[in-house]
Amino acid sequence: MKFSLFVHMERSDLAKPHSELVTELEELVLMAEQAGFETAWIGEHHGMEFTISPNPFINIAYLAAKTSRIRLGTGTVIAPFWHPIKLAGEAAMADVISGGRLDIGIARGAYSYEYQRIFPGLDAWGAGQRMREIIPAIRGLWEGDFELSGEFWQFPPTTSSPKPLQKPYPPIWVAARDPNSHDFAVSHGCKVQV
């Protein structure tokens, strides 16, 4: 059996500086690595003190320099807040920096108030449709010369720069609550986060 750690910087005391939370995050991940944990997962959230991680790739790059074995995963990035080219490039850079230890979890997002703040008018259905379009797009960008004329994003033939270190690319996980999302993940060769 493999164990993983799902961790955020969390601040319940507003007097506690964010820099101290970074130190605590590092300590937790180092303890998990020393204990033989498989992966440390860091999500994406915006405008809240109890899950401080506006871009999990920053945390992952920082932790990659402090660790040597533990895998580092996005648990998860919120698909509608990312352009496929940006997501493919940043994920690939995190994979390179971590020495090929990235797992990428992708979700539609869990909190409607984040949609209201970052993408007004977006609902869970629209967010889920964007997630379903972005997953094949990032794979195509990693493979190279990928063109998209989708419902949500359009761009000419483009290749991710950099490309991931892992071949053919890092494991992709889909955060799924309902059977349709499970089916989508499996049919697209993704793992499922539940």
Instruction: Give the model confidence (pLDDT) of 97-138 as tens digits.
Output: 999 999 999 999 888 888 899 999 999 999 999 999 999 999
Instruction: Give the model confidence (pLDDT) of 11-20 as tens digits.
Output: 999 999 999 9
Instruction: Give the model confidence (pLDDT) of 143-163 as tens digits.
Output: 999 999 999 999 999 999 999
Buried/exposed code over 126-154 (b: 16+ C-beta within 10 A; e: otherwise): bbbbbbbbbbebbbbbbeeebebeeebee
Q: Which residue has the tokens 């379903």?
A: 132
- Among 73-77, 82-86, 109-113, the least confident range: 109-113
In the chain, pLDDT over 70 holds for what percent of residues?
100
Query: Does the pLDDT value for residue 88 go beyond 90?
Result: yes
Kindly report the pTM of this predicted structure: 0.95
Sorted by where each starts, the structural domains of the chain and their CATH numbers stand as 4-193 (3.20.20.30)
Structure tokens at 154: 């359009």
CA 123/CA 127 separation, integer angstroms = 6
Instruction: Please report the pLDDT score of residue 166 as a whole number.
Output: 98
Q: What angle, 0 to 180 degrees and rounded to 10, lies between the N-to-C axes of helices 124-143 and 84-97?
A: 60
CA 117/CA 119 separation, integer angstroms = 6
CA 102/CA 84 separation, integer angstroms = 17
Q: Which of 113, 100, 111 is nearest to 162 (CA)?
A: 100
